[in-house]
Amino acid sequence: MSIGRVTQRMLTEGSLYNLQNGLGRLAKIQEHLSTGRVINRPSDNPTGTTSSMRLRSSIADQAQYARNAQDGLGWLTQVDSTLDSVTNTVKRARDLALQGANGASAGSVTRDAIATEVDGLRDELLARANATYLDSPVFGGVTAGSRAYDDAGNYVGTLGDVNRRVADGVVVKVDVNGPDVFGDGPSSVFAELEALSTALRAGDQAGISAAIDTLNARIDTVTSARTAAGTRFQRLEQADQLATDAGISLRTQLSTIESADLAKTTVELKLQEVAYQASLAATSRVMQPSLLDFLR
């Protein structure tokens, strides 16, 4: 049985190697505490890094879905407030038509005054039809222009749906097509009010009665459009909440993978400090080479 010769150099190199390993473990734990993360580079945990990257991608997706939902809510809020005003304006025009239809008490001067107010209501409706959100007409479809209707009441927008993706495979329409609410050309509410104004000035009772029926139908049309927009508004609110909740859940999972347990890491740091100090003390006592040791 042979016994290997142990030299001072071997002891020194072995001791330095062990001390460096202990110092490396101590530095790693210090990095965890200073950054608050257990994964600071891919080599720290390749599997955890892969999971972390996937979670971050999912978090970004949910954040974008939430932003899309918020943008859609802005569109539909503008649509709802505008349609509320449109409903009130059309009802006012209908009431004026009923007043003008009372031929016994409405003279020509009164009818002219009513017609003038109807003209003002038409201009008001035209302004409502060109309502915008972030400089885009909410009734203009996918038009690149700033208006949905021209001054004559003709639709100048581009028919098409403005959609927002609020979840994987879920798309919600956030605008309302102008012709579905206001009509277009001769069949528009603007033409209907012009016809009412003309009938009032001419004392045309048949024309006024026809205008009343037309405006009642228009009120129903606007109410239906507002109801549909309200349903989509609720969907967007739910989608926004779901995306927000999903983002919170994913960030919690990411924290579980990446974040350091401060209490546990602090204890580990203390243990490594004690171990390293003990290694230094033991090495300093054992490794006391003499001149003769260096000469061997």
Could you report the per-residue pLDDT of 218-268, keeping only the tens digit for each?
999 999 999 999 999 999 999 999 999 999 999 999 988 887 877 887 888
- Select the CATH number that applies to the domain covering 60-254 from these four: 2.30.130.10, 1.20.1330.10, 3.20.20.100, 2.60.40.420: 1.20.1330.10
Amino acid 14: pLDDT: 73
| Number of Cβ within a 10 Å radius of residue 46 | 10
Return the pLDDT at 18: 75
d(CA 222, CA 94): 14
Of the pLDDT bands very low, low, confident and very high (cuts 50, 70, 90), residue 194 is: very high
Pick the residue with more confidence: 277 or 188? Answer: 188
The predicted model scores a pTM of 0.81
Tell me: pLDDT of 104 over 80. no
248/174 Cα distance (integer angstroms): 26
- For residue 108, pLDDT over 80 is answered with yes
Q: In the prediction, which pLDDT does 3 show?
A: 63
Higher-pLDDT residue of 78, 271: 78
What do you get for the CA distance between the two ends of the chain, in Å?
24
Residue 179 contacts residue 155 (beta carbons within 8 Å): yes
Q: pLDDT at position 292, please?
A: 56
Q: Which residues does 131 contact at the CB level (< 8 Å), separation at least 6?
A: 78, 79, 82, 137, 138, 139
Q: What is the pLDDT of residues 29-51, one digit of tens each?
A: 887 788 878 888 888 889 998 99
Residue spans of the domains in the chain: they are: 8-36+260-295, 60-254
Residues whose CB falls within 8 Å of the CB of residue 288, separated by 6 or more in sequence, listed in order: none
The predicted pLDDT at position 5 comes to 66
* Average pLDDT for the chain: 89
* Arithmetic mean of pLDDT, 60-80: 97
32 vs 63, residue with greater confidence: 63
Q: Residue 291 has what pLDDT? A: 52
Question: What letter does residue 187 receive in the DSSP assignment?
Answer: G
Task: Pick the closest to residue 66 from 251, 239, 249 (CA basis).
Answer: 239
Question: Rounded to 10 degrees, what is the CA torsion of 143, 148, 150, 156?
Answer: 40
